[in-house]
């Protein structure tokens, strides 16, 4: 907190006041433990959601508490709906004023911990810069002649005169969207193409003369109307037809080649036939000659052995007989 003090004469309006003298009162706590990157959004003038990051020197078990106050409240209020997601703290609290207007009192926000080691942080927020309109719902489509009529639900908390809408539509499978800006909860898309599928979605934003916010609402769910030829089927046909034709051509060529061989077999070469015939005869004659010579040699050998054995036997016996006679 900062304080400034100066003095001036009470009854002399012509005198100049003294210069300001400043004094600061530093908060308790360790530096670097205070919450940082505080961000708040006032959703559809109904509830406020604030998020912040822990200080770089804060411990992992730090439990931050959010308090808020604005002119008109008897005492400050404490937020009780806390959440932590991926190290980011958040808290949501209801915030509404008795009368809907484009001017609201400044909201003071305090974030601190029960421990004195955690330094508190204070911030002041202008609510008119934090308003985010609700997402348009119940988007309905109808086709009349050559145009499409689009209608959606209105916000119940923001005046209709403060809202504008952006409508985008896709025709067929085109990635580029065509935007339409309207100031009421309905729109018409003229000159539609027959037999074409149209996909439409809507979002809302606030007029600057009512609120100085830059928040757009989230996009509504996509709604479609019309018929569109499935491009996936076209792609599959474009790919499969050439493949089928190529495979069929290959099969037909192979089949025709086999059929030609069956109907018109190749004529054998007479020279090859004669070579094979004479070659086989020569091989047979040579093999027969070899077999006969082998048999004759074998028989001759057997005969020689038999004859030789007989001659030896007779010689031995005659010698013995002569000795006996002597």
Question: Are the C-beta atoms of residues 159 and 211 closer than 8 Å to each other?
Answer: no
For residue 192, what pLDDT is reported? 77
Question: Are the C-beta atoms of residues 8 and 15 closer than 8 Å to each other?
Answer: yes
Model confidence at 39: pLDDT above 60: yes
Give the number of other Cβ atoms within 10 Å of residue 180's Cβ: 15
Burial status of residue 203 (CB atoms within 10 A of its CB: 0-12, 13-18, 19 or more): middle
Model confidence at 304: pLDDT above 70: no
Round the average pLDDT of the chain to a whole number and report it. 80
Going from the C-alpha of 232 to that of each of 54, 82, 153, 238, the distances in angstroms are 49, 47, 34, 10
For residue 238, what pLDDT is reported? 78
Binned at pLDDT 50, 70 and 90, residue 176 comes out as low
Residue 73 phi/psi, 5° resolution?
-85, 140
For residue 282, what pLDDT is reported? 54
2-131 and 140-225: identical CATH topology: yes
Model confidence at 216: pLDDT above 70: yes
For residue 230, what pLDDT is reported? 53
Binned at pLDDT 50, 70 and 90, residue 68 comes out as very high
Residue 259 structure tokens: 């059929």
Binned at pLDDT 50, 70 and 90, residue 260 comes out as low
Residues 6+ apart with CB under 8 A from 123: 38, 108, 109
Question: Are the C-beta atoms of residues 67 and 79 closer than 8 Å to each other?
Answer: yes
Question: Are the C-beta atoms of residues 47 and 27 closer than 8 Å to each other?
Answer: no
Instruction: Compute the average pLDDT of residues 219-241.
Output: 74
Instruction: Compute the average pLDDT of residues 165-194.
Output: 82
For residue 93, what pLDDT is reported? 94
Between CA 152 and CA 145 the distance in angstroms is 21
- Residues 140-225, CATH architecture: Sandwich (2.60)
Quick one: which H or E segment has residue 262?
helix 231-263
Fold classification of 2-131 is: Immunoglobulin-like (2.60.40)
Model confidence at 33: pLDDT above 50: yes
Domains of the chain, residue spans: 2-131, 140-225
Per-residue pLDDT tens over the stretch 184-210? 999 988 877 777 888 899 999 999 988
Binned at pLDDT 50, 70 and 90, residue 239 comes out as confident
């Amino acid at each position: 907190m900062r304080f400034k003090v100066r003095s001036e004469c009470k009854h002399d309006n012509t005198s100049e006041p003294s210069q300001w003298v400043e004094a600061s009162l530093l908060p308790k706590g360790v530096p670097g433990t205070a919450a940082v990157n505080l961000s708040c959004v006032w959703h559809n003038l109904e509830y406020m959601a604030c998020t912040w990051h822990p200080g770089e020197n804060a411990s992992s078990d730090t439990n931050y508490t959010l308090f808020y106050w604005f002119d008109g409240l008897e005492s400050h209020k404490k937020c009780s709906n806390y959440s932590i997601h991926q190290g980011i703290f958040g808290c949501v609290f209801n915030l509404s004023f008795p009368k809907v207007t484009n001017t609201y009192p400044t909201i003071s926000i305090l974030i601190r911990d029960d421990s004195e080691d955690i330094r508190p942080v204070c911030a002041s927020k202008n609510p008119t810069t934090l308003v985010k309109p609700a997402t348009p719902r119940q988007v309905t489509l109808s086709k009349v002649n050559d145009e499409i009529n689009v209608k959606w639900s209105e916000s119940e908390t923001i005046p209709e005169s403060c809202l504008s809408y952006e409508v985008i539509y896709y025709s067929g499978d085109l990635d580029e969207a065509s935007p339409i800006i309207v100031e009421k909860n309905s729109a018409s898309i003229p000159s539609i193409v027959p037999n074409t599928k149209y996909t439409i979605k809507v979002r809302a934003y606030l007029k600057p003369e009512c609120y100085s916010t830059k928040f757009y609402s989230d996009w509504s769910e996509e709604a479609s109307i019309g018929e569109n030829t499935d491009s996936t089927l076209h792609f599959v046909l474009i790919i499969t037809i050439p493949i089928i034709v190529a495979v069929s051509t290959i099969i037909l060529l192979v089949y025709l080649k086999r059929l030609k061989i069956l109907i018109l077999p190749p004529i054998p070469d007479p020279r090859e036939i004669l070579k094979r015939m004479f070659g086989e005869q020569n091989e047979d004659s040579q093999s027969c000659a070899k077999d006969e010579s082998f048999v004759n040699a074998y028989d001759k050998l057997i005969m020689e052995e038999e004859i030789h054995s007989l001659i030896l036997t007779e010689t031995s016996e005659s010698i013995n007989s002569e000795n006996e006679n002597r």
